[in-house]
């Protein structure tokens, strides 16, 4: 029974990793700024409760819209340079990048439901997001 439970946990963890990819200061340029499609960046911290909920939504969107949108997560504590560079003051914070640039007006703080996240992405010029 315990072995099955552990196997189930490993499977769920692998499925979660298949969603939003973790990026940091070392690979931010390659993964975000040089991406060939729009990128949703979620800034989060381990101690942030709403960030855990945002992770679920972001993973769902990454799985469902992965062909047109890349979704990545930046943990704030080990990446202070990215936090400062993009003015992240509250968590979770979402920023959309397109063609290596921040989409004007795309920085948004606070938890969003999946429906609101899709509306937000559509308002940032990421086509095909509205339900």
Residues tagged active-site: 48, 51
CA distance 47 to 58: 18
Q: Are 81 and 25 in contact (CB under 8 A)?
A: yes
d(CA 128, CA 91): 26
Q: Which of 85, 89, 91 is nearest to 73 (CA)?
A: 91
């Amino acid at each position: 029974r315990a072995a099955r439970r552990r196997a189930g946990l490993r499977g769920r963890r692998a499925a979660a990793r298949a969603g939003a990819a973790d990026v940091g200061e070392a690979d931010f340029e390659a993964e975000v700024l040089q991406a060939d499609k729009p990128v949703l960046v979620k800034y989060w911290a381990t101690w942030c409760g709403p960030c855990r909920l945002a992770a679920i939504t972001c993973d769902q969107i990454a799985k469902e819209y992965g062909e047109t949108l890349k979704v990545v997560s930046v943990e704030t504590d080990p990446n202070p340079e990215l936090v400062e560079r993009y003015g992240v003051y509250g968590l979770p914070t979402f920023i959309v990048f397109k063609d290596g640039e921040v989409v004007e007006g795309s920085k948004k703080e606070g938890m969003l439901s999946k429906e609101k996240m899709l509306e937000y992405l559509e308002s940032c010029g990421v086509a095909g997001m509205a339900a």
